Structure 1
Amino acid sequence: MSAAFQSEGQWQWESATAGAVAGFATVAAMHPLDVVRTRFQVNDGRVFNLPTYKNTAHAVFTIARIEGLRGLYAGFFPAVLGSTVSWGLYFFLYSRAKQRYSKNREEKLSPGLHLASAAEAGALVGLCTNPIWLVKTRLQLQTPLHQTQPYSGLYDALRTILKEEGWSALYRGIVPGLFLQVSHGAIQFTAYEELRKFVVDFKSKKSEKTPESADKLLVDYAILGASSKLAAILLSYPFQVGIHFSGQRPGNDGIPRYMDTWHVVKETARFEGFRGFYKGITPNLLKNVPAASITFVVYENVLKLLKLARRND
């Protein structure tokens, strides 16, 4: 095995490890807002097993008062598992795609190739992790008002879904899920890479006169992560609403509220209009914009530590 091949392989696994650590840190910090976002998205006024929340703060206090800390962290384990696997796999596949599209490691990719790399990684991650996200959504939607026997956790949810609904149920919402993974990731990572390239070029010229401190670099990563995430959320948010509607558990009669993705789109447009596709965007922004800052700050620093450890070996 050549030294160059070994180096490329190590770099990709370092990206995967840094991505996994970043994913875990993000979920641990921001999960309660994810619960609120999910409940807002599926509450169309026709669901009777979800309380009505006035706004994000009211939702957080209501869940804490009625369901306790457990309610705010409903679906935490599948969220941690899904985020850790997703980010680790995403960064690994994204770095491989970038390496494949570039003729050599020193060549900078165009925005179009960054877009293609991110879209490719997003599609593969979506196919691998959809069952985890489906379980997370269902656990987050369980409340004391729930009419069906609640799932006790990840394993019980998977076992019950397979028993009652079959394998195909684990891939409910896969169409909007793939659209979300591809479009969201492509927008976010292309924006991040292009902004990062601009900042690095600008800072490299500036650092010839004044060396850049580590604290300033952390601020740069945080701003870049937040900016790229904001663009991705605003452009791809309706797909998230489609996923969470599609992933709801059937009622006691065993009949799903929505037959497929197109049914979700028609019913949402019919009863709620354009605003229905952006329900829950406030807690989503409150969660994901700072979460993206955490993700990329952790990712860049873990990657730097891994590279430093490799050089010292």
Structure 2
Amino acid sequence: MSPGTTKSQQWQWENAVAGSAAGFATVAVMHPLDVVRTRFQVNDGRVSHLPSYRNTAHAVFTIARSEGLRGLYAGFLPGVLGSTISWGLYFFFYDKAKQRYALNREEKLSPGLHLVSAAEAGGLVCLCTNPVWLVKTRLQLQTPLHQTRPYSGLYDAVRTIMKEEGFSALYRGIVPGLFLQVSHGAIQFTAYEELRNVLVDLKNKRSKIHHQNPDKLLNSVDYAVLGATSKIAAILITYPFQVIRARLQQRPSGGVQRYTDSWHVLRETARFEGVRGFYKGITANLLKNAPASSITFIVYENVLKLLKLTRKND
């Protein structure tokens, strides 16, 4: 440990590094399903520049055939940046919040404080990363049917958006994004922490040596199950916010936004598509995020173990 660096500060940075590594691994493996999900989310049956897909498998096959690998990995760079930054900041803010709430507390944090910590982290992350997610969404929606000059990449997208729509356009979808980040992260991390505690207690009872370090009790399979289970719970509850955000973040057609605000999306989707409209693309989302969350928490927990071991050996 370097002079002037406290254990608390080093622990926070270890969480950030572990979270970033987890985010990168997740996107690299699961990005094609993210493209499919986004295209399903915004396809309200009245959008001319998006092809129609029967299901997730058909969407993957059609995109691969008509657009190639480039289509399946559209928006990959902002996806990697956004996920890596988001997970890094999320784990950093989340752990920092838990430490603050745990001050002068000897017992474990309550579910309520886990919820507050996760919600706080989600809000901060959303404010930092919304422009990246907006660019990712627009790049993923570019197809051969698009009439507008396509963005050539991340830099061109940001420059064009600011030139044509102004800086505020980078924060389109921020309201449902905030609701999504706060509620989704709070539900996922609270479920993860509580299920993790239950699993640790169960393994502790079965172990001959009680009160072991949780790091020694849990393995990668445990982290995979915990990550997937907590993610599914969060997705089922918060998915409509994702649909609303994606529809708001579409590129204007002829200089006109398809939806003006969250209420407009809510009203139009309910009117023309019903409840089902708010869950478009959820199959691709579950296929992507359940295993992706498993990968995320496997990488996160194991990188964290490695960093702890390295710190002990210093």
TM alignment of 1:47-86, pairs within 5 A: 47-86=47-86
Q: 2:303 aligns to what?
A: 302
Cα shift at 1:99: 0.1
Mapped contact 2:200–2:217 kept (Cα < 8 A): no
Q: 1:249 aligns to what?
A: 251
In 2: Cα distance, 1:230 partner to 1:4 partner: 42
Equivalent of 1:236 in 229, 234, 238? 238
Letter in 1 for 2:133: W
Letter in 2 for 1:125: V
TM alignment of 1:1-313, pairs within 5 A: 6-104=6-104, 107-208=107-208, 217-252=219-254, 254-313=255-314
How many residue pairs get aligned? The number is: 312
Cα shift at 1:204: 1.9
- Per-residue CA deviation, residues 208-233 of structure 1 (Å, 9 max, x unaligned), is 26999989611110000000000000
TM-score (ref. length: structure 1)? 0.96
Identity, % of aligned pairs? 75
Please state whether the residue corresponding to 1:88 is helix, strand or coil. helix
Mapped contact 2:203–2:217 kept (Cα < 8 A): no
Letter in 1 for 2:308: K
Cα shift at 1:197: 0.7
- Per-residue CA deviation, residues 87-110 of structure 1 (Å, 9 max, x unaligned), is 000000000000000025853100
Letter in 1 for 2:219: L
- Per-residue CA deviation, residues 171-190 of structure 1 (Å, 9 max, x unaligned), is 00000000000000000000
In structure 2, list runs of 5 or more residues that go unmatched: none
Q: CA distance change for structure 1 residues 214 and 99 in 2, over 3 Å: closer, same or farther?
A: closer
Q: CA distance change for structure 1 residues 160 and 140 in 2, over 3 Å: closer, same or farther?
A: same
Cα shift at 1:4: 11
Letter in 2 for 1:240: Q
Please state whether the residue corresponding to 1:51 is helix, strand or coil. coil
In 2: Cα distance, 1:150 partner to 1:165 partner: 15
In 2: Cα distance, 1:274 partner to 1:215 partner: 43
TM-score (ref. length: structure 2)? 0.96
Mapped contact 2:204–2:217 kept (Cα < 8 A): no
In 1: Cα distance, 2:131 partner to 2:219 partner: 37
Mapped contact 1:99–1:105 kept (Cα < 8 A): no
- Per-residue CA deviation, residues 44-77 of structure 1 (Å, 9 max, x unaligned), is 1100101000000000000000000000000000
Letter in 2 for 1:169: A
Letter in 1 for 2:146: H
Please state whether the residue corresponding to 2:219 is helix, strand or coil. helix
Letter in 2 for 1:63: I
In 1: Cα distance, 2:215 partner to 2:21 partner: 24
Letter in 2 for 1:34: D
In 1: Cα distance, 2:4 partner to 2:102 partner: 15
In 1: Cα distance, 2:172 partner to 2:156 partner: 18
- Per-residue CA deviation, residues 137-168 of structure 1 (Å, 9 max, x unaligned), is 00000000000000000000000000000011
Please state whether the residue corresponding to 2:6 is helix, strand or coil. helix
